[in-house]
Structure 1
Amino acid sequence: MADVLEHLFKQLLYSNDRSLHDMLHADRVHWKRKMCGYLNRIMNHLNKMMIGYENEKVQGLIKELERVAKDIVWHNPSHHMFDMMLEITEKICNIKYGSNIAEDSVVGFEEEVKTLLDQLTATCIKQFQVFTIAGMAGLGKTTLARKLYQDPLIEYLFDIRAWTCVSQVYTKRNLLLGILSSIVIDPTEMYIMSDEQLGEKLYRLLKGRKYFVVLDDIWDCKFWNDLKIYFPDDRTGSRVLFTSRDIDVSLHVGAARPAHVLRLRTEDESWNIFQRKVFRTGICTHVLQRFGRNIARKCEGLPLAIVISASLAKKEVSIFWWMKMAENLSSLMVSHPSRYMDSLALSFNHLSPHIRPCFLFLGSFPEDYEIPVTKLIWLWIAHGLIHETGSKNLEDVAEDILMDLIKRSLLTPAKKKAGGKIKTCHFHDLLRDFCLRKAMEDNFSLQVYKYAPVPESSTAITNSPYTATFGAPALPIQTGLCYPFELGEALLKGGSIFYETYNSLAVLDVESVPISLFPSDVTQLVNLRYLAIQAHDGSPKASISSLVNLQMLIISSKKNITVPKTIWDMINLRHLCIKSGENQIDDCTIGLSSLQTLSQISPQSCQHIFSRSPNLTKLGFCGPLISSLGDLDFPNINSLQHLKKLKLLNTTPYFEPTRSCNPIMLPENLKRLTLSNTGMDWEEMWTFSLLPNLEVLKLKFHACIGEKWDTSDAEFKHLKVLKLHGLDLRQWFCSRDNFPRLQCLVVHHCLKLNSIASDLGKILTLEMIEVRGCSISTKASVLRIQQEQESEGNFFLKVHASNNLDGSHNPRLDHLDLATLL
């Protein structure tokens, strides 16, 4: 009913796009005829709908509606007139149907419904198949599954349809009874059967038939081991559809393809859902649209939140109430926790005990904050929430927990790095509110982050002079978070730290608070495990060694810093992350076996430390990296067998193409290599193909010089990601044989590059090509690659060609956000 009215009113409103005053007389006559036609259809529809409800109130509303319709036709119509029509129609609908709108909406999932229908009804595949729909609580998994279950095509093609809910607590018997109850007209006799008899009955009913069974709300795949023997595969094209919050469920049930993971809704889709949940016509009056859109936007694309906010909006359809809602939506939703707490509590209770504190900790971050994954993992460790398991170190265990939360749809990836690793995550406001409530209920202490108290005139520290030349990432200028807020405020004002008050403090994160010097008072906080500082001069004092429990030291400094040799006395230090400049570190005879990260260090200052820090996994050199003979030169790090990531940023200009280092200097397990300003001859690139485990290679800002790169016979056997950024390359001769396992190719600001070889599109593993700030011919070449692949049936290759020199972009790819990939 709502769909018909919505369609009719949209036709009416669309016809009114042109004002009568802007029309010629002939156009005006034609417009009036069209308007009369649409208005008559609406009136006829409402009159038929209200047969049997012809009381005085209804007749009065119908007459009022007819009067407004006549005014629309004979006068220049206004938004007010159409709003009156919508309001009267809403009153008429509510008389017949009541104010509750029960229909489930699958707005924005039309393409997904079509895709899943095509998969479920494919007649060419006769064998039995399992499909899964996954996503976080409130995304609409059950709604989408029910839409498919009730689709006329499904009803037509399948002899038997059945639906049952599995849920968290289940028994084999109840599941069998649930499925059979959908099939058998009179299930009374089944309740006296044993489990084996029920299973046999189900098998016999399904045998030789084409069936479609939905198993809703899967939490544990073990149930499928008990049930699957009762689902015969007679090659009739039978299908089973699971819904689950666990993205990995498809791996454990032998699904035909990976889980269909539901996304958050777009702003327009959220607005359409909101309108359909509030109004019978599915259309909001013009006077309320601005406030309604604001409310829908604040739901962040989660249908559960949209439904809750729509139910609040229906309480009073007025400007005053909707304005109040738009301003205070979070607090209003929190005041009605029963609408979502039970659903989210199920997800929480299903978490392993060691994961629950990590989940609750997410409530520490403010609303709408994009959580950096590395920071989150380090904070989990610093707060003692992670414990080593078997041979895995703390970081690996924490990463497993992160991925577990993501696969359960309790965290959403926001941005990804090259190679597919997650860079930042998003935590929905409803989940955050649940964490705050649950933490209070369980007496779990939350360290709540607040935005740093930085004056508007203050500017964050940027990198050293190398920033402009070599493109090292600048530190953020906008205000970030700090903890504890009071200490950040005190440091900003030049005050002292009262260590008696903060003696037990484990985390001091004031990286967003610009101060002049590394504060010496900090060294009295002996229980610190995580310290992040931003200072004009960030060189720590020798007394830094007092922080014997410190595990993470993050320093942002405008000036190059010197790390004192007492750093080597800090036996628990795991990550020394310096974010800018060319920095010195004093050598010492003592090593740090716990150290895993060391960044932005001058190669000249660490000739002998690597043998004493054997467990480094990430290393960054910044400084002179070219010898007087023109060779790439840095300390031999071959002994670092755990090293996975290496960055080389050269700061010494060399006016001729340089030569590569001997690959034997690099550890065999190296997976990620970044070169910046090294000025290498392109012919030297083959040496890096000898690294047996190299997966990510980034060449940035004159990493190589020269206009031609001929990869010749070099084979980068395991390379998954190749990024070229800010290079003078004009011609690139290569083939699919050079990069047999490439998944992602990124080319940014290579202004002279003519084209990208079409043969790269034939790499079977290639998933994405991204081109930004390059020539028109380069853009055209990647679009040709896409067209060629699509003509051969390869629709998996995504091409993103935008922000080019001509300012144009590929409109077909606007939905991709590949800038977040790297």
Structure 2
Amino acid sequence: MADALTLLLKEFVDAFKRYCLLPDTKYRELMIHSSTALRNHLLTMMRLYNKDMVLLCGLKRATDRVNRIFLEDFFPSRKQRGEKFIDELIDTIENLYKLKDNSSSNIEGEEDVVGFDEEVVTLLDQLTATSIKQFQVISIAGMAGLGKTTLARKLFNDPLVEYFFDIRAWTRVSQVYLVKDLLLGILSSSNRDVTDEIYQMSDVQLGEKLYRLLKGRKYLVVLDDIWDSKVWNDIKMYFPDDKTGSRVLFTSRDVDVGSHVQAARPTHVLRFRNEVESWDLFMKKTFGTGICPFSLEAFGRVITRKCEGLPLAIVIVSGLLKNKLSNKWWGQIAEKLSLFMVSNASQYMHSLALSYNDLPPHLKQCFLFFGSFPEDYEVPVTKLIWLWIAQGFINQSGSKTLEDVAEDCLMALINRGLLLTSKKRADGRIKACCIHDLLRDVCLRKAEEEKFSLLSYNYALVPASSTTIHSGLCYPHELGNILLKARLIGRPIHYEYKTVRVLDMEYVPMSVFHSDVLHLSDLRYLAIQAYDGSPPASISNLVNLQTLIISSQKNIVLPKTIWNMVNLRHLYTKSGENLIEQPNFVQVAGNDGSPNLLPSLQTLSQVSPRSCQDVSSRAPNIRKLGFCGSLISSLGDLEFPNVNSLQHLQKLKLLNTIPYPEATRLCNLEMFSKNLRKLTLSNTKVDWEEIWTFSRLPNLEILKLKLHACTGEIWETGDEEFSQLKVLKMHYLDIKCWISSRDNFPRLQRLVVHRCSKLKRIPLDLGSILTLEVIEVRGCSTSAHNSAIEIQKEQENEGNSFLKVHAKPELEIQNEQ
């Protein structure tokens, strides 16, 4: 819907400009036609929202203004008034984009490759040429900030490439690399589960596993950001040439890397954007509509010329401007922006630092913390937010939680172009982010200038077996190495670590929960991986702890003292069915005799329902909750602790561990919180006839039905309406027939169907959902795959070019195994 609105608005503005230049009947009719189309589209959008949302987003105001343009005549003598009027209209719709849910825009995360149209065509032809069966290396080179990764990502995600190759994989290389990490990155990116057993393999074993995976198949592997041809020499023996048309694509700053690795063709050296391309990119990045208001256009063109065709500079400066659409501010940036942007990195570093200098103090801290991470490291957003809070960078703001404030900070940095989105969730929210190498240089320089204490993540080396060494990212890595090398019981930890707030050893395996860390009394964030991850009762000595993450190969038993940790915000256990001691909570009481509460607890994951029968009273503000254990009663009813009174609960996961032989029934809907946004079921075997119950959850936006979540051959949705549902995911289900219509899911944006091998068809009418942006069908029958393609073709015939369909039938998926 957002893309359609942008297109219609552009058509209207273009028609207005033409009519002002040449006010004849033809252009007047074009203007009337385009304004009518825009107005009708806005009216359609209004019907998708309730009355309050219409008023909030300004849709009514925008519609009224378009209607006035439709009724009035704008002659050249009234051009100035018309420009002012259209600027107001653009501003209104810009506010609409800002206020609308993030998940409704750019859910696919498509890249802006303005100016590279010819390169895309040429490279696509080389990647997918059926006449060349030999294995080939293709390289893209150019200075930092020109868009090498953006172009490679565009090619990697192109539907033709997705269809052409059996296996696609992507990994970042960086200046400092480990062969093991490259191999693991390729294996995990190719949709292979990297188990603990795989993680502990030697480089040679991993290489052999990769070779077997690629053998006989047509594959594309992208090695992003190669600094030295030595990288390819280290791993090329693991890439078989079976004359299937396989390709490896490099990106590099060094033009000579292509020749050193014996690339099949000359390196594609990227150029700077010309003035027209720069302006196009600038408008896309600065305005949700992609249209610059008349009043700001002169300043905008001066600014883009001073960026000298460097895409990164354009992105950065657009982040400075997009939230301050005033002539005064734009004039200041146009005057200050450096003219020296391109010949040497040091010459435009000052210009890139403009955005940093404009940040408020709390955002500067958040940005500088990125210098702690290794080059090219993708940081999970949830982890980043918890780390920011632990470091004390986030302050309370009104009624918002610290996590909500931190997310606002993240979006502010992304909107300013200082951070990049690297992964998105199914609902379009950001899952992981990273920082461009040049901006990381800015980050490190500014941290040094401002004496910002910057401990770092680095790789700690530990024996995985008697013959292999395992590397795991650790923060601070010096302390991690100390804890790994020696048991410090009875010995004081060095003074310099006494004030450490974060200890992240999640990827450094140990045998047991390391009690030595309990000496670090100032810890706010603790992440540990251990074969036996059960912490001692003295864990409660960490009175300041906010986040506790434990990964283990055994079920974790959490001591009852955990309920004394009143500052705990996130308790994240990663193993099987995890227990909290003494489920009779009255036995754990405060000094006044009343049961202890965890008022700040927001995340409680993968815990046994037996441990949390009174979770609503114990953790009243919880937002994410996951139950793992026996969830089916002897009578075949889904049962778990009542969470109805958890007013802040947004996400609930139900993972049943004891299979039930027959189809099960849902529990009373009153067991669920009315504010629930996301629900995930796994192994619950709910009868499809029961699923209609979830349509009565008024705020449910994401429904994930995973392995054996439902059972039965037919799902007929009938008259029920999932009124707010935006994402529906169906994985590993035995359904054969799905009967549904667009009226059942009026606001659906993304439909994902994976490994439902018996499903015959995707309901054709779902393609008519006005908000639907993506249908993804993988590992299903050929007929289900064909029905998805049929939906796309039907929508294209009706003029809907915004629906994207990604489909790969079961046979092709099996060939990849």
TM-score, normalisation: structure 1: 0.60
- Name the structure 2 match of 1:603: 609
Q: C-alpha deviations, 1:514-533, integer Å up to 9, x for none?
A: 00010111111100000000
Structure 1 residue 487 corresponds to structure 2 residue 479: yes
With over 3 angstroms needed to count, the CA separation of the structure-2 counterparts of 1:303 and 1:536, relative to structure 1, is closer
Query: Which amino acid is the alignment partner of residue 579 of structure 1?
Result: K
- How far the C-alpha of 1:806 sits from its partner, in A, is 3.6
Larger displacement relative to structure 2 (308-317 or 593-602): 308-317
- How far the C-alpha of 1:120 sits from its partner, in A, is 9.7
With over 3 angstroms needed to count, the CA separation of the structure-2 counterparts of 1:755 and 1:272, relative to structure 1, is closer
Structure 1 residue 233 corresponds to structure 2 residue 82: yes
* Residue number among 724, 735, 745 corresponding to 2:741 in the alignment: 735
- Name the structure 1 match of 2:367: 359
Instruction: Measure, in 2, the Cα distance between the counterparts of 1:558 and 1:367.
Output: 30
- How far the C-alpha of 1:412 sits from its partner, in A, is 1.6
- How far the C-alpha of 1:660 sits from its partner, in A, is 0.3
Query: Which amino acid is the alignment partner of residue 725 of structure 2?
Result: L
- Name the structure 2 match of 1:433: 441
- Name the structure 2 match of 1:697: 703
Q: C-alpha deviations, 1:274-310, integer Å up to 9, x for none?
A: x9xxxxxxxxxxxxx989746669976279999x999
Alignment map for 1:162-201 (pairs within 5 Å): none
Structure 1 residue 681 corresponds to structure 2 residue 687: yes
With over 3 angstroms needed to count, the CA separation of the structure-2 counterparts of 1:572 and 1:250, relative to structure 1, is closer
Instruction: Measure, in 1, the Cα distance between the counterparts of 2:554 and 2:366.
Output: 36
- Name the structure 2 match of 1:568: 563
Contact residue 140 and residue 148 of structure 2 kept, 8 A: no
Instruction: Measure, in 2, the Cα distance between the counterparts of 1:489 and 1:483.
Output: 10
Contact residue 491 and residue 515 of structure 1 kept, 8 A: no
Query: Which amino acid is the alignment partner of residue 565 of structure 1?
Result: K
Instruction: Measure, in 1, the Cα distance between the counterparts of 2:484 and 2:14.
Output: 67
Query: Which amino acid is the alignment partner of residue 786 of structure 1?
Result: Q
Instruction: Measure, in 2, the Cα distance between the counterparts of 1:683 and 1:118.
Output: 41
Instruction: Measure, in 1, the Cα distance between the counterparts of 2:423 and 2:139.
Output: 29
- Name the structure 2 match of 1:651: 657
Q: Secondary structure at the match of 1:233?
A: helix
Q: Secondary structure at the match of 1:636?
A: coil
Q: C-alpha deviations, 1:665-700, integer Å up to 9, x for none?
A: 111101100000001111111111111111100011
- Name the structure 2 match of 1:467: none
Structure 1 residue 559 corresponds to structure 2 residue 554: yes
Contact residue 248 and residue 407 of structure 1 kept, 8 A: no
Contact residue 271 and residue 296 of structure 1 kept, 8 A: no
- How far the C-alpha of 1:496 sits from its partner, in A, is 2.6
Instruction: Measure, in 1, the Cα distance between the counterparts of 2:114 and 2:603.
Output: 38
Alignment map for 1:105-254 (pairs within 5 Å): 122=11, 126-127=15-16, 209=76, 231-233=80-82
- How far the C-alpha of 1:361 sits from its partner, in A, is 1.1
- How far the C-alpha of 1:121 sits from its partner, in A, is 8.4
Contact residue 140 and residue 252 of structure 2 kept, 8 A: no
- Name the structure 2 match of 1:538: 533
Query: Which amino acid is the alignment partner of residue 632 of structure 1?
Result: L
Query: Which amino acid is the alignment partner of residue 512 of structure 1?
Result: Y
Q: Secondary structure at the match of 1:424?
A: strand
Q: Secondary structure at the match of 1:773?
A: strand
Structure 1 residue 301 corresponds to structure 2 residue 148: yes
- Name the structure 1 match of 2:35: none
Contact residue 776 and residue 806 of structure 1 kept, 8 A: no
Structure 1 residue 515 corresponds to structure 2 residue 510: yes
Instruction: Measure, in 1, the Cα distance between the counterparts of 2:343 and 2:568.
Output: 44
Q: C-alpha deviations, 1:222-268, integer Å up to 9, x for none?
A: xxxxxxx9943179x9999999xxx989869xxxx999999365999
Contact residue 641 and residue 669 of structure 1 kept, 8 A: yes
With over 3 angstroms needed to count, the CA separation of the structure-2 counterparts of 1:576 and 1:791, relative to structure 1, is same
Alignment map for 1:304-383 (pairs within 5 Å): 337-383=345-391
Contact residue 139 and residue 252 of structure 2 kept, 8 A: no
Q: C-alpha deviations, 1:596-653, integer Å up to 9, x for none?
A: 0000100011112321210000000000000111100111111111000000000111
With over 3 angstroms needed to count, the CA separation of the structure-2 counterparts of 1:371 and 1:728, relative to structure 1, is same
- Name the structure 1 match of 2:111: 263
Q: Secondary structure at the match of 1:787?
A: helix
With over 3 angstroms needed to count, the CA separation of the structure-2 counterparts of 1:209 and 1:800, relative to structure 1, is same
Q: C-alpha deviations, 1:749-775, integer Å up to 9, x for none?
A: 000000011011111111110011111
- Name the structure 2 match of 1:330: none
Gaps of 5+ in 2: 19-29, 31-73, 124-135, 152-223, 229-250, 264-268, 270-340, 589-594
- Name the structure 2 match of 1:505: 500
Structure 1 residue 661 corresponds to structure 2 residue 667: yes
- How far the C-alpha of 1:350 sits from its partner, in A, is 2.0
Instruction: Measure, in 1, the Cα distance between the counterparts of 2:636 and 2:393.
Output: 49
Instruction: Measure, in 2, the Cα distance between the counterparts of 1:523 and 1:679.
Output: 42
Structure 1 residue 550 corresponds to structure 2 residue 523: no
Structure 1 residue 416 corresponds to structure 2 residue 388: no
- How far the C-alpha of 1:798 sits from its partner, in A, is 0.8
- How far the C-alpha of 1:493 sits from its partner, in A, is 3.7
Instruction: Measure, in 2, the Cα distance between the counterparts of 1:116 and 1:674.
Output: 33
Query: Which amino acid is the alignment partner of residue 493 of structure 2?
Result: Y
With over 3 angstroms needed to count, the CA separation of the structure-2 counterparts of 1:492 and 1:233, relative to structure 1, is same
- Name the structure 1 match of 2:572: 577
Instruction: Measure, in 2, the Cα distance between the counterparts of 1:640 and 1:775.
Output: 41
- How far the C-alpha of 1:714 sits from its partner, in A, is 1.8
Query: Which amino acid is the alignment partner of residue 380 of structure 2?
Result: P
Instruction: Measure, in 2, the Cα distance between the counterparts of 1:795 and 1:520.
Output: 58
- Name the structure 1 match of 2:677: 671
Instruction: Measure, in 2, the Cα distance between the counterparts of 1:731 and 1:601.
Output: 35
Instruction: Measure, in 1, the Cα distance between the counterparts of 2:662 and 2:252.
Output: 69
With over 3 angstroms needed to count, the CA separation of the structure-2 counterparts of 1:660 and 1:230, relative to structure 1, is same
With over 3 angstroms needed to count, the CA separation of the structure-2 counterparts of 1:443 and 1:700, relative to structure 1, is same
Contact residue 128 and residue 234 of structure 1 kept, 8 A: no
- Name the structure 1 match of 2:209: none
Q: C-alpha deviations, 1:492-530, integer Å up to 9, x for none?
A: 345337423321110000001100010111111100000
TM-score, normalisation: structure 2: 0.61
Q: Secondary structure at the match of 1:446?
A: coil
With over 3 angstroms needed to count, the CA separation of the structure-2 counterparts of 1:539 and 1:123, relative to structure 1, is closer
Contact residue 427 and residue 750 of structure 2 kept, 8 A: yes
Count of paired positions: 555
Q: Which has the higher contact order (CA 8 A, sep 6+)?
A: 2
Cα RMSD, aligned residues only: 4.6
User: What is the percent sequence identity of the aligned residues?
Assistant: 57
- Name the structure 1 match of 2:713: 707
Structure 1 or 2, whichever has the larger Rg, is 1
Instruction: Measure, in 1, the Cα distance between the counterparts of 2:109 and 2:577.
Output: 44
